[in-house]
Structure 1
Amino acid sequence: MQDLKAELAQSVDEAAWDWLVPHAKRDVVIVVKPELDLLDVGVAIANDDTLSVQSWISHQQLHKPFANQLADWNSDQSKRFQALIVQPYVLVQELAA
């Protein structure tokens, strides 16, 4: 698991919203709430850890972008995110302005 986490850590990058738009249109963007560690979520998804993932979803810590979020992000192209690709998903955490 540590190897996978180290491998994923090298893939975490900062992204502008305009880079993420094509992924959002394909419905593969997943929002990770700030209280969760992006790498831990990536490892759980990569390892098919359905218990953790379902728990985060039920606590609304992991979700597809809400319509109001998409509207905000589309109107403010300067928004920045931490992004991690875990095929087929793109996990994102909004960075503070």
Structure 2
Amino acid sequence: MKITREELAVQVDVAQWSWLRAHLERGGLIVVNRGLDLVEVGVSIASDDTAVVGDWIQTGLLAKPSAEQISAWDANEEISFSALIISPYVLIQEQKQ
């Protein structure tokens, strides 16, 4: 069964960093660049579109959180994220402040 954009769009939620930290510790957190559509990334990952996902990874638009990002998020409890679970991953996109 194919996951649709509409199905994933209703699953996007807002999360605080403290809620997401456990996913970082288990290695399941993926940062989505703000230039990408979070739902579109979710659809591509869920449908195993390796060419598109690979391009995003290669260009740095999709990545594990960097040490600098983690430090910044740890230091600022006000930061919130759009989050989408595509098991076993949690896709996050930092919201504009």
Aligned residue pair count: 97
**Equivalent-residue separation in structure 1 for 2:21 and 2:65 (angstroms):** 11
TM-score w.r.t. length of structure 1: 0.95
Partner of 1:82: 82
**Equivalent-residue separation in structure 2 for 1:17 and 1:24 (angstroms):** 10
Q: Flag the 1:61–1:19 CA change in 2: closer, same or farther, 3 A.
A: same
TM-score w.r.t. length of structure 2: 0.95
**Equivalent-residue separation in structure 1 for 2:68 and 2:86 (angstroms):** 25
The one-letter code matched in structure 1 to 2:11 is S
**Equivalent-residue separation in structure 2 for 1:3 and 1:47 (angstroms):** 7
Q: Are 1:33 and 2:30 counterparts? A: no
| Root-mean-square deviation (Å) | 1.5
The answer on whether the counterparts of 2:15 and 2:82 sit within 8 Å (CA) in structure 1 is yes
Unpaired runs of 5+ residues, structure 1, are none
The answer on whether the counterparts of 2:44 and 2:53 sit within 8 Å (CA) in structure 1 is yes
CA-CA distance at 1:78 after TM superposition: 1.4
Unpaired runs of 5+ residues, structure 2, are none
Flag as ranges the 4+ runs of structure 1 deviating above 4 A.
none
